[in-house]
Chain A
């Protein structure tokens, strides 16, 4: 029997503020997991620090709540150690694009099969409303003593430049559509990004529900022939102009949906298998470490390159 989204809920009290966009994201994730029928025992959710970091306590699976900015490297270790697990790394814009941005970039270079979900509300909620990396310059949300002096970063372009092979953007209050984006991201073989725009009703008094809903539209609704898949050099030549244009669009209109899918690149797991033939069958987490407590190797044979024979 297929699982229901309720099978992914825990009994913990969800501590977010009323109206928080995180509720929609959590709900979309629960439903995506149910529709993909992922075994909670085989599911890994790694979260960083911030409001979204609490998500790991609200999802039934193998979850770990780590350090600020470090969800992606933790997820990297888990996925490499056991590539059979479905691994999701979640964090806010501050976590993923501020303190953890080096990992956000580097995972793209590996194309490891991980889904990165960025809860993007453009503020640091849990520390009471400081400017996040996606807040435009000169905007002053209500907790700021003065305007924001930093320009906003474009997570989609950063992901593209870093080598992500699936890039999508959703909106937290559109649970159904966001669920579909998350499903596609999880199913994609390679590093995928789902940036989810998320009003923070407590601290972001500019980018509100109304603000977003006046601007957002779906790429595939505007253009029924929208096809983000890039599978060849020709596709790249023909489509990248439009994809970049859409990724750059931000202002009166904000596009949502899947922007870019690249199926031509090998995953990190495949690369590892090429250099370690036993990797797929015996990855680091599922490999014997001894023979009944005795070492597996004889250093005098394995390290013969260091032995001087008379």
Chain B
């Protein structure tokens, strides 16, 4: 299966199962195994709006350098329940393998209660057309016909075997089901047992009994595979990063880390998918020890940050704004529906000039829509949020590393420019785990800035002092009497409807945004990836970035040379750099996960340039590099206006 060199290694596999059945845990063990072995990984989770029982799956890709995307078909699938077998039996490539539970294979499709009705109907029709019984067993047969090696594990027997060798009750032992399936898969992919055992030990860490039981389960699985399937054909060589400390973090976690490093002192939130995990991670790390360099300067060992769960999103944003006027460095975190509730407060924050970062984890809408699925549908919503004329900074991150640094930058910008900063991220980023090395998130590369924050304002302090750069010094509450307001105001914060002052204040706030546009370098507003002279330009934003970068490599192999304009800052918008690239291209293709092609709409408004070709994915499932490459190729070859891709169960 694999050669001696690790440079061609590109492994893809999935683990499927019912929600609440340990799929996440198995995925993490798999990622740790390959990281320990010196590879880089991504793993992404697809799940339904359900706590327990509905089908979910974890897809992993392993390469010597950080993989930018997943795609199908995969090399291996661990599908231990009938629903998983039936959902994924066509997801495995020829010569790949599928690990299933031979003891539940007779299950009929119609008896699988959690399976969505449309999928049941499609599957029943599929098997009827082939004259096959509508069962999981038929799915295994089809996979075999497609050249997939099927590995049937008698799970009931294997679990009993594990139980017989430990003193633990059967109910606990049956939790090793995923370990048995995963160990089988990893072993067949060429991972030596000692690495699997090390990953299990790392994952369950202090829980020694759990470690021992899972290692036993893995050994029993491997013995069975050796006995019945002759073991793996060859062994996976060690990766180039063997022995390197590696962080495995989701997008939710990396943003939380960026906030703590960026000096966040208070976060507010109301529970919503896919945002809440960020706040919970922050809460889990709210007390911290200062790094040696900070301890030396401040002579302080420990500090903390407050994470406040509020009664709703109105309260989340308003208590964040309250904390900010008191002098805290503040953020809140939500998704589209929660952000909709925050709209009025965005307008207040702009008028009253209150710094706050709002992290918006987009998901599939409209309305409750696909609450646990990917979407990039809130670009226009966030950019045009709030009533009245009101500009705000909107920045979209393309990957984990950008999200980490953007979280720090957003806090800096909010305080420097005393304005809301909207940090746009999405579900795919939220639930994708990536491997990161020290150089990727180096704390000393980040700077923390507060702008014109004045600790000791004088008696003559004016909250809304008219200045040349449009930015007034900002004093926290608790120093001198001062007034903040959402009404139009004079320099001292007193309300006024005077026409002359109104114009002066509008001009002051406009100058502030001119300052922002000037001070943020173009390189942080938009990035052109690839050859600037390529004749085909792909345009996109957000978490599609690494996927498109992978697709560019695939296209290059096909002889199609493209570059990629990644939009980062949507306000203030970099009109000239964008227009320069677009007018230089012969073909421009916009790639987005929303039906309106929202970024293309904005580009037309800002620059007058009309994009004519589109690639879209609207199913809420992760976008694949191969899908992008195929769609772009099709547009290049046929001149089609729009290609909608829809891969993934």
Contact = CB atoms under 8 A, between A and B. Distances in A.
Given A67-B486, A296-B291, A310 B244 contact: yes
Contacts of A284: 265-266, 305-306, 323, 326, 328-330
Which 9 residue pairs spanning A and B have beta carbons closest together? A77-B322, A289-B263, A77-B319, A290-B448, A284-B328, A285-B327, A73-B318, A81-B326, A284-B265
B476 A299 contact: no
A78 B247 contact: no
20 contacts: A64-B483, A77-B318, A77-B323, A78-B325, A80-B319, A81-B323, A81-B326, A82-B326, A82-B328, A284-B266, A285-B476, A289-B448, A290-B447, A291-B293, A296-B298, A299-B257, A302-B285, A303-B253, A306-B247, A310-B242
Interface in A28-43: 40-43
Contacts of A44: 326, 477-478
Contact of A277 (B302, B311, B344, B493): B302
Contacts of A297: 260-261, 288-291, 294, 443
A145 interface: no
Interface string B286-300: 111111011011101
A84 interface: yes
A282 B303 contact: yes
A65 B290 CA distance: 37
Given A285-B478, A303-B285, A67 B318 contact: yes
Task: Report whether over half of chain A's contact residues are helix, strand or loop; otherwise say mixed.
Answer: mixed
B348 interface: yes
Given A81-B326, A299-B261, A41 B478 contact: yes
Contact of B286 (A276, A290, A295, A301): A276
B261 A295 contact: yes
B115 interface: no
A296 B408 CA distance: 12
Contacts, number: 277
Contact of B446 (A77, A272, A295): A295
A56 interface: yes
A299 B443 contact: yes
Q: Chain B binding site: helix, strand, loop or mixed by DSSP?
A: mixed
A295 B289 CA distance: 12
Contacts of A291: 290, 293-294, 296-298
Interface of A: 12, 40-44, 46, 56-57, 60-67, 69-70, 73-82, 84-85, 102-103, 105-106, 272, 275-279, 282-303, 306-310
A65 B447 CA distance: 33
A277 B485 CA distance: 34
B305 to A, nearest CB: 7
Interface in B19-54: 32, 35-36
B327 A76 contact: no
Interface of B: 32, 35-36, 202, 242-249, 253, 257, 260-266, 268, 285-291, 293-294, 296-298, 300, 302-306, 308, 310-312, 314-315, 318-330, 344-345, 348, 352, 408, 438, 441, 443-444, 446-450, 476-487, 493-495
A78 B287 contact: no
A289 B477 CA distance: 17
Contact of A82 (B36, B202, B478, B485): B478
A12 B326 CA distance: 24
A296 B441 CA distance: 14
Contacts of A288: 298, 300, 303
B314 A70 contact: yes
Given A67-B318, A295-B446, A300 B265 contact: no
A77 B268 contact: yes
Nearest to A296: B294
Contact of B495 (A57, A67, A105, A278): A57
A76 B324 CA distance: 11
Contacts of B322: 46, 64, 73-79, 81
